[in-house]
Amino acid sequence: MIKKLFLCAVWFAMLQPSLEAQVLSAPEIPSLPDAVARMANLKREWTALQQTPPKLAVRDCFLFLLDALDTHFLEPKQVEWVLKLVQTRMISDPAAGKSYGNIFWGWHETGIDVGDGNNIEFCMQYGLPIKLLFNDRLSDEARKTLDEIFTLGIQGARNQVVRISYTNIFLMKIWNFVAFGQVYHQPAMLEEGRHYFDQWLDHVSRYGNREYDSPTYCGVDLESLLLMYRFTTDADIKSKAKDALTFLLNDLTAHYNPVAGILAGAHSRDYNRVFSRDLLEEKYMNPLLGRANNNVHLFHQLCLATLKELGLSPDQQNWMHRKNRFIVQRWDSLDNAYACDFVGQKVSLASSNQAYSPDDKPFVIYLNSSRIPEMPNIAFVMEGRDDHYGTWATEGMGEKMKQLMPPGYPSNGGWGKTRHLMPFMQSAQNKGELVMLVSGNKDHNCIKDYLNSTIILPNYFDELWTGNHKIPVPSIGHQVLIDETRTFFARFEDVAIAFRFLWDNADPGVMPVLYNDGYKFEASREKFPLIHNGTLRITLQHPNTGKANIAIWWKTAEGINTDQAFVEFRQEVLNAAVSVKEENGTVDIFVPTQSGKLGVRADLATKKRLEYYNPAPLPIDFLFNIDGKEIGKPVLERYTIPAQK
C-alpha cells in the first residue's frame, strides 16, 4: 500500500515513498560480540535520550533505534516517541533555502539555518538500515514518521552541496541516494546516487583520495562502501563498491601497523595528535585482524561483518607485513599534493608535501616493538595556542578562551576544536630520512603573538643525546636545552632517530628545548587503554611577529645494535656539510646523505615549491605506488571518464 506524503519543496515536487521496504532475513543480521555490554549501552542511551534536553546526539538516535528494534528493547509507542522527537530537529520550512530538509546536530539550535549541513548525511547513513532490516517491526505510526523523516531528509541531502573531494560526506551522500531509491522504489533517486558514484570514481581514479588516511574518516568511508556492497540489489553499484573497497583497502593495508593496531603514514585529518587510533582501527581494522571486537552497535557490526566476508586479498596481507616498503600516493589534483611513507621493522617515517587541514598529521614517525607495541607517535605541529599535545577540545578550552576569539571569526572556523596552522610545506623524503621546510603565519585560531614548532615524542627511549652530550630525561616540569649543534638524537632498542634543525627564524639565542610536561595520553573518542602513554616534546618558540619558518632534517635507522653503531649514526648527522642559502625570500636547503643530495628549494614570499633534491625521484604519473609498482590505477582506471572534446 502506498501512502502519499505531501511535503512542501522549494524546487521539486513531492516524493511518494512506498512503504513496502525490503526486509532482510534474520540470518543476515550479525550478532554482537558481547550481549551484556550491548544491553548496558542501550540502557545508557535510553536514559540519556529521556533527559531534558536529551544527552544523546541527534544522529546517534538512529544508531540507538537500530539496536532497540533488533533486541525488542522498546515498546512500539516508545519507538514512535523517539522518531517524533528526532523529527522536531528537522528544518521543514521551505524558506530555509539550502537548509531545508536538513537536521540539527543537537537539541539547542533554533531558527532555520542548520550551519554545518553534514548531519543529514550521517542521520540517513545510520537510519536507512532500519528500513532495510526492521521495517516490519515498526508500528504504522512509527513507519509513517520515519518515512516523513527520510522523504524530507533526501531533499536536505540534495540541497547540501558537497564537494567531491570531501570524501566521507560525498560517499555518505552516494549511499543515501542509492539506499533511498532502493527502499522506496524510486529509480530516479538510485540513478542520482549512481551518477554521484561515477563522478567520485572518476575523481579518485585521477587524483586519489583527498581525505587520505584519516583514522576517523577512512572508517566512515568504509561504512558507506560496505553498506552499498551489502545491501544494494543493483549489480553495477555493487561491483563499483567492491572496486572502491579494493582501492581503499590497498591503501589502508599498505600503511597499517598490525603490531601497534594503528593506521600509520601521514594523515589528512587526525583528531588524536599524540596517538593515532580512532573509528577505523577500533571498529573495523583491529577486529578484522583478530584483535578484540568491542562493538556495541549493530550498525558497526553490520559493516564489520561485511568487511570480514570480503576479507583481505593475499596482496593486501603481503603489503601490510612487507618490511622496508616505500609508499607514494597522490591525494589531490595539485601536482605537489602527495604523501610518502617508509615502513621498516620497528619504525616508519611519513610525510606530506602539502597541508590538508588544521588537524592533519603531515610529518610523523611511528615506533613499536614486541616489548612496547603501542606508544605515542613522533609528530611535528606548528600552532599558536601553546596546545602542544592537541588537548584544546577535550579540555573545553574553546569556551574557556571564548573572550580571545577575534572579531569576524568564521562560522566554520572550529574555535572549540583542536586546531593547528595550515602552513606552506615542502619535503623531500628518501626512505627513512627527509628534509622538511615549513612556513606559517598566525591565523584566526591562534591566541598567542608567537607560533610554536613542536615535535611530540614518546617517553620510552633508551638514550637521549644533543650534539655529543648524553642527556637525561627531564623530570616532570623541567626541561633540557638543545645545544648549539641544534641536534637531537634518540635510541629505542636498535632504532636510532635524529633531528637536525637546519634553519629557522627564531630570535637570536633562542634554541629548541626538550620538555617533560608529564602529559599522558588518554583516549577521549574511542575508549581504549594505552599503557605506555607518556610523552616528551621538543619546542622551538618563534618570534612575536606571528611568523614561523623552520627546516629540519629527520633521519631514522634500524640495526643500531651497538654503542659504536649509534656513535657513527650521530656523527654522520653532526658532520654533514649542510647547505642553507636564503636570498630575496628564496630558501635553498639540502644535506648530503649516503644516497645523495636531499633537500628543497622554495620561494617563501610566493609560496612556490621550486625544486626537490632527492636521490630517488618520485615515480612518474603515480596514483598509489608501493616500491615502484603502481597498484592504484589498475583498480580504478576503468572509471576515468574521457575528457569532453
Among 435, 486, 434, 480, which residue's Cα sits nearest to residue 459? 480
Residue ranges, the chain, pLDDT below 70: 1-27, 645
What's the pTM? Answer: 0.94
Whether the CA torsion 62, 67, 68, 70 is positive or negative: it is positive
> What one-character-per-residue DSSP string does 408-422 give?
T--TTS-TTS-----
Give 24's DSSP letter. Answer: P
How far is Cα 494 from Cα 566, in angstroms, rounded to an integer?
9
Cis peptide before 472 (omega within 30 of 0): no
Sheet holding 495-504, edge to edge: 424-430, 433-441, 547-557, 495-504, 487-492, 463-466, 469-471
How far is Cα 597 from Cα 595, in angstroms, rounded to an integer?
7
Pull the grid cell for residue 128: 536507512
Query: What SS3 class is residue 237?
Result: helix
Q: Which long-range contacts (CB under 8 A, 24 or more apart) does 394-401 make?
A: 394/418, 394/524, 401/447
Beta strands in 399-476 (DSSP E): 424-430, 433-441, 452-458, 463-466, 469-471
Looking at residue 485, its amino acid is: T
The pLDDT score that the predictor gives to residue 645 is 67
- CATH class belonging to 331-392+418-638: mainly beta
Q: Using alpha carbons only, give the angle 328, 331, 333 rounded to the nearest 5 degrees.
A: 120
Residue range(s) occupied by CATH 2.70.98 in the chain: 331-392+418-638
First to last CA, the chain: 48
The pLDDT score that the predictor gives to residue 28 is 85
Can you name the residues that pair with 535 across neighbouring β-strands? 458
Dihedrals φ, ψ of 275, to 5°? -145, 120
The tens digit of pLDDT for each residue in 278-306 reads 999 999 999 999 999 999 999 999 999 99
Give 32's DSSP letter. Answer: P
